[in-house]
Structures are given as structure tokens and as C-alpha cells.
Structure 1
Amino acid sequence: MKKENIPNALTFIRIVFIPIFILILMFGKSYAWHVVAAIVFAVASITDYLDGYLARKWQVVSNFGKFADPMADKLLVMSAFIMMIELKMVSGWIATVIICRELAVTGLRLLLVETGGVVLPAAMPGKIKTFSQMFAIIFLLLHWNLLGQLTLYVALIFTIYSGYEYFKGSAYLFKDTFR
């Protein structure tokens, strides 16, 4: 495999891990299976960091990567939160806020590209949001409840704040909406 394809392969691996992660949580109800799910989620999360790092280092950008990398991240995190509602590890309202923000910012990014070709890069609050969401999921799956809940609320705060920042910076798109 050419090194240029490695970031895309890592993204593809992350996508493949999503149904595996879901199946583990669907059928593995014991603590041991939650640990396995945490490991699968952690490995998938590491591929998120690694594919971005390698793509920047090697300066390789592809249409697949531009589409699939952010989509894989969102699908992984949203799947985890939905499954964790069922397992009563995460409150439904928190997962709803997080999922709605993810969908809204994804829509905003599409609108920015469509209206002016602007690509909205991830800002630091968004990176902290992603990092804290992933760690909250891992901690909660490991049943480190206090640390998991604290990290989850940090993730919630950065989810709301980063979403606000993205929309505030793009408010010009909606200036004629209610006139």
C-alpha cells in the first residue's frame, strides 16, 4: 500500500469498527464486554488522530478523506452515545445535545462549502470537544463513573461552546433569514 493511502485506510478501519463496537455493546452485557467495547472505541479513536496526523505530515488530501474522516468521527461518537443511553450510562438529554450539535455543525460546513467554497476547519474548542467526548465514552465504558461523568460534562460544555462559536462566525450566512 502506498503511504498516500494509509490515512484513508485508517479512516476506513474506523468505519468498520463502528458496527463491531455496536454489536459488542448489544450482545455483551457484562463488564468484561464493556472493557472490550472501550478498547475497540479507543483504537478507533486513535485512528482518528493518526489519519489526520499522517495526512498533514505527508500532505495527502483526498475527496474520500475530506468526506469520510469527519463522517466517521461523528458516526462513531453518535453510535456510542446512542448505545450508552440504552445501557443507562448516559442521560438522553446530554446525548441529544451532542448529536444535534454534530448534525448542525455538519450542515453548517456543507452550507459554507456550497455558498462560498469555504472549508470550516476544526478550531481548538472543537478539538477539545472531540477529545473529551472520546475520553468520556471510554471512561464510562470502563465504569469509571465519576471520571466519566466529569469528562462528559466537560465534553457537553465544549460541545455547546464550539457549536456556538462556529455559528457565530458564520452568522452572515443567515442575515437575511427573517427580514
Structure 2
Amino acid sequence: MNLPNKLTVFRIILIPVFVLLLSWPGQDATVLFGNPSLNWVMAAIVFAVACLTDFLDGQIARRRHLVTNFGKFFDPLADKLLVMTALIYLTAFGDVPAWVTTVIVIRELAVTGLRTLVVENNGTVLAAAWPGKIKTFSQMFAIFFLYLKDWPFSLVGLPFGEGLLYIAVFFTIYSGIDYFWQNRSVFADGL
């Protein structure tokens, strides 16, 4: 297994660590004046490390010509698992509206299903397109700041994470439509 694929697997392994930090008994999401608890800060750091592996694995794979079908499929899947897990917890704690999480989860599952259809019909793995990469980037930044309770922007009352979240929702919808439009032949061939 090459280094980019190892980074993808490492990102998947970080998800249970992230969950454990958020599930620690007796920890409240905020401690004083809306600042995040220590567990949430540590969870945000683990989340950031996982996001960094997403950036690194892609850079290394392209520069060293180590792009594999495993990476094309599991890299976006790892991102989806990380983002969906983080959003479900944020929704459970009341920091993200349920409709936002629902839209993002439905899009992620639909695109994963589309990737499977493309592999079955064409024998090729659908690589991430630029709208999908922008979507992932905006989702990850929004989630990171939501787990930090918008610190340091909260010091001036700026809901930075929430603003990024709605930008992420836009790109989530746009990129989902783009993936289906670019691969509409899969459905035409199957009919």
C-alpha cells in the first residue's frame, strides 16, 4: 500500500478517536462564555489532522504519480465518513440544524451510489471533480470552526462557522447536481 493510501486509511482510523473525544461522559460542549470544552478542542484538533491527511494524500499521489483506484474510491469515502460523523454529532448537540445534516448526508450517499454505478457500468472509478473538492474543503472548514465554537471569531461575535456551513451546503448541492449531470449516461445506458 502506498503512502497516500496509508494516509487515507489513517484518516478512517481517526474517526473513532474523534467520536471517543465527543462521547466522553460528563463533558459539556461549552464550558464558559460559549468557549469549547477541552474535549471539543481536542476533537477539533483530531478533525483538523484528519483533514490535513486528505490534503496530503492527494498532493503526494499526484506529484509522485501514485494515483490508484483504491485512492480514487476510498479517499472521498473517508472524507464522507469523517464529515457525516462530525455533522451528526453537531446536530445532536444542537449546533447544526437537522435539515443541513440531512441534505449533506443524502448528497454524500447518493454520490457514493453513483460512484458504484459508474464502476459497475464503465469499469472506471469516478475521481473527485473540482466542485466536489470545493464542497469538501468548505465542509471541513465549517465543521472545524463549529467545533471550536467559532473561536477566535466568537470574540467579536462573528458566526464564522455557521457562515461557512451555508456556503458548504450550496457547494454540496451544486457538486451533487454536477456529478449526476456529468454521469447521466449511466442512467441512460441502464434504461
TM-score exceeds 0.5: yes
Identity across the alignment (%): 55
Q: Distance in 1 between matches of 2:115 and 2:70?
A: 16
**C-alpha RMSD of matched pairs (Å):** 1.9
Code of the aligned partner of 2:122:
G
Note the 1:32-43 alignment, pairs <5 A: 32-43=38-49
Structure 1 residue 86 displacement after superposition: 1.0
CA distances 1:52-92 after superposition (whole Å, capped 9, x unpaired): 11111111134543443222111111110111111111111
Stretches of structure 2 lacking an aligned partner (at least 5 in a row): 30-36
Which aligned segments of 4 or more residues in structure 1 are displaced greater than 4 angstroms? none
Structure 1 residue 121 displacement after superposition: 2.5
CA distances 1:6-36 after superposition (whole Å, capped 9, x unpaired): 2122112111110000111111434221111
Q: 1:97 aligns with which of 103, 106, 110?
A: 103
**2:13 maps to 1:16:** yes
Q: 2:50 aligns with which of 40, 44, 55?
A: 44
From the superposition, tell whether residues 126 and 36 of structure 1 become closer, same or farther in structure 2 (CA, over 3 Å): same
Q: How many residues align?
A: 175
Structure 1 residue 119 displacement after superposition: 3.1
Is the 2:47–2:144 Cα contact (8 Å) retained in structure 1? Answer: yes
From the superposition, tell whether residues 114 and 139 of structure 1 become closer, same or farther in structure 2 (CA, over 3 Å): same
TM-score after normalising by structure 1: 0.90
Match of 2:23 in 1: 26
Residue 97 of structure 1: SS of its match in structure 2?
helix
From the superposition, tell whether residues 67 and 177 of structure 1 become closer, same or farther in structure 2 (CA, over 3 Å): closer
Q: Distance in 1 between matches of 2:54 and 2:129?
A: 16
From the superposition, tell whether residues 52 and 142 of structure 1 become closer, same or farther in structure 2 (CA, over 3 Å): same
Residue 175 of structure 1: SS of its match in structure 2?
helix
Stretches of structure 1 lacking an aligned partner (at least 5 in a row): none
From the superposition, tell whether residues 66 and 124 of structure 1 become closer, same or farther in structure 2 (CA, over 3 Å): closer
